[in-house]
Structure 1
């Protein structure tokens, strides 16, 4: 195999390994509804985090922008392709950890995600691909435009679903009752 393909093979291998680990953990391959949608936009339904993309895909796109910036700073001598491999390792690690009982229970305890039971394997795959899209966009776009895009995605998700990457991190690390109450105002029972 030509060496320039090694990073792409590594990325494919990481995606496959994450899927295999999640399957071994008991994660469902696809939504228990029996089908896969390209987009599922209802964060309050049992289909959330079960289809290929959803509102949280924006967070994974943002991961790509963030990982690109971080790895460009930490590993400037690495090629973009090998930095993408490192980013996929980070993203894949998070996808596995995010779907452990510890993190699932944490989401359910301190966030508005009361009915969150983890991601399907196809959703985790979509999250990994979204991260790669964000990573390669960041590699091509000017820094200012990258920052504007991430802020725009955060604002859009915050407005549409009362959640985004920043709120997600805050609520996992240092839950705030005021944020949870605001997020719950978007729940169907309060509309």
Structure 2
């Protein structure tokens, strides 16, 4: 087999594995009881209101782009001998694992108990798979952009989300792991 044919075959296998991760994630989430789309039957490209985590994209997609930056860095540090495609698949498995964990009763209840997301019911399958795609966008950008641009972009995305919705990846992690009353008060508009 020629080198080009072998490369095309590896590329096809990676693509099929990536698609399988999307499909398996969707099936697992649906089996867990998460709805495929918003309960009202609508599908929106962007939702910044009460329908957060129900449609294709929302402000939290910015956090998932940053997940891609972070996964790229992590996998560059620990698996740089692997091809970019293999590292992307590993990142997809990690992100898919988070999407599944995020939609368990334990995490949903944790969000309700310690964050401003008191009415959070989990993500739709559509939103979770879109979050997975957003992570891939971040991973791709981190692979292509200079490091300093990726860092500045991550900071800008965090600041924009904090300004617009009073939440971002950093605040989300803090509030899930070690809730701080002052952050909760600020997020609540106080």
Q: What is the deviation of 1:171?
A: 0.3
| Alpha-carbon distance between aligned partners in 2 of 1:152 and 1:175, rounded to the nearest angstrom | 24
Q: Which residue of 1 aligns with 2:67?
A: 63
Structure 2: distance between partners of 1:8 and 1:163? 33
CA distance in 2, matches of 1:139, 1:3: 19
- Please give the TM-score of this superposition, normalised by the length of structure 1: 0.94
**Segments of 4+ moved more than 2 angstroms:** none
How much does 1:3 deviate? Answer: 2.1
User: Structure 1: where are the runs of 5+ without partners?
Assistant: 187-191
Name which of structure 1's ranges 60-69 and 4-13 shifts more when overlaid on structure 2.
Answer: 4-13
Name the Cα RMSD after superposition: 1.0
Offset, 1:11: 1.1
- State the secondary structure of the residue aligned to 1:2: helix
1:12-27 → structure 2 map (5 Å cutoff)? 12-27=19-34
Give matches, 1:137-152, under 5 Å. Answer: 137-152=141-156
Tell me the equivalent position of 2:3: none
Instruction: Extract unaligned runs of 5+ from structure 2.
Output: 1-7
Q: What is aligned with 1:10?
A: 17
* Separation in 2, partners of 1:81, 1:107: 33
Larger Rg: 2
Aligned pair 1:136/2:136, yes or no? no
- Residue 40 of structure 2: aligned partner: 33
TM-score normalized with structure 2 length: 0.95
